[in-house]
Amino acid sequence: MELSTILAFAVSGVLVGTLVGATGVGGGSLMTPILVLLFGVNPATAVGTDLLFAAATKSFGTVLHGLNRSVSWKVLGRLSLGSLPAAAATLWALRFVDPQASAVLITRALGVALLITSTAIVAQPFFQKLTARRRPSTAVEESFVEARNAQAIEAELARAEEECESRPGAAWRTVLLGTVLGGLVTLTSVGAGALGVVVLVALYPKVRGVRVVGTDIAHAVPLTLLAGLGHATLGGVDFPMLGALLCGSLPGVFLGTQLAFRVPERVLKQGLAAILFVVGSKFVF
């Protein structure tokens, strides 16, 4: 691989890492289209490489969220119960698809996934406002006022979240969400971020946003790792390209985190949604 190519991949890593650090979404949604449209990478190789790229970058985020206790391991287990078998089944099915037909299938599926993701990004604030009205009951809110220390408030929040996560029907709906994400992410590398967060907010309205995001990030690690390694066995991972992308993404995430404090999140996410919609339309039509 030439030095200029390595630098170009590293710059792409910086770009995507910056957007991920600033908005929390956009990794798979942007990296795969960039590799396909700008670098002419085979769609299957772009998806496989991006999956391992996501597994590596999100592992660090999972550690941070785990240390801050902002991961629901119960919800993570439910998601994985659906997503990992779905990922394995999708990888098995891809073995019997002609490479040329597989490229067309992945391209079309990628376009649809990008359109869905762009819609999910736009809809996310609406869901947050809607579910804000379904937070803990007035009695719980009054207990917050009466609480004299942060530990009491934290205990009330944890109890409300535990009740929400244990509601009847929440388990099988979460497994179903994991199944959909498993197939979608394995086929396109898109969907684990924005789409997963939007649906989790709807399923668990009383769970704090940071815990939803932390759980979504943690779930993406085993899913993208399994899917990425599966694509590697199919010859769908370019490891030198992966290394160059990772070299750029780490400083990019840092830059994006700083940018998030200077540019309104709403502006960043709306811009990202517009880009994904345009790119998705190009893949579909």
pLDDT in tens, 244-272: 999 988 788 777 766 655 766 667 667 76
Residue given tokens 């993570």 in the structure block: 76
- Report the range out of 169-173, 251-255, 272-276 with the highest average pLDDT: 169-173
Provide the 3-class DSSP secondary structure of residue 128: helix
Residue 236: the pLDDT is: 81
Six-digit token string for 1 = 């691989």
Residues 6+ apart with CB under 8 A from 209: 128, 201
Return d(Cα 244, Cα 39) in angstroms, integer: 14
CB within 8 A of 192, min separation 6: which ones?
A: 28, 54, 181, 185, 216, 219, 220, 223, 224
The single residue listed with the structure tokens 């592992």 is 59
Q: How much is the pLDDT for 268?
A: 66
Segments making up each domain of the chain, as ranges: 3-134+169-284
Q: Residues for the chain: how many in total? A: 285
- Computed from CA positions of residues 215, 191, 22, 61, in that sequence, does the dihedral angle turn out positive or negative? positive
pLDDT in tens, 175-215: 999 999 999 889 888 777 667 877 888 888 888 777 887 88
Q: Which two tokens stand for residue 213?
A: 């995001």
Maximum pairwise Cα distance, the chain = 65
Can you give the C-alpha Rg of the chain in angstroms?
A: 19
The Cα-based distances of 245 to 9, 35, 56, 63, 121 in angstroms read 5, 10, 11, 21, 24
- Given phi > 0 = left and psi -120 to 50 = alpha, else beta, which region is 69? left
Q: Of the candidates 104, 102, 33, which has an alpha carbon nearest to the alpha carbon of residue 281? A: 33
Question: How far is 175 from 75, CA to CA, in rounded Å?
Answer: 9
Local confidence band at 138 (pLDDT 50, 70, 90 cut-offs):
very low
Whether 259 contacts 120, CB under 8 Å: no
Q: Which amino acid is at 2?
A: E
Distance CA 92, CA 97 (A): 10
DSSP helix/strand/coil, 97: coil
CB atoms within 10 A of CB 25: 28
CA neighbor of 110 nearest in space, from 177, 28, 229, 216: 28
pLDDT at 230 over 80: yes
Give the global pTM.
0.80
Instruction: Please indicate whether residue 250 or residue 237 has the higher confidence score (pLDDT).
Output: 237
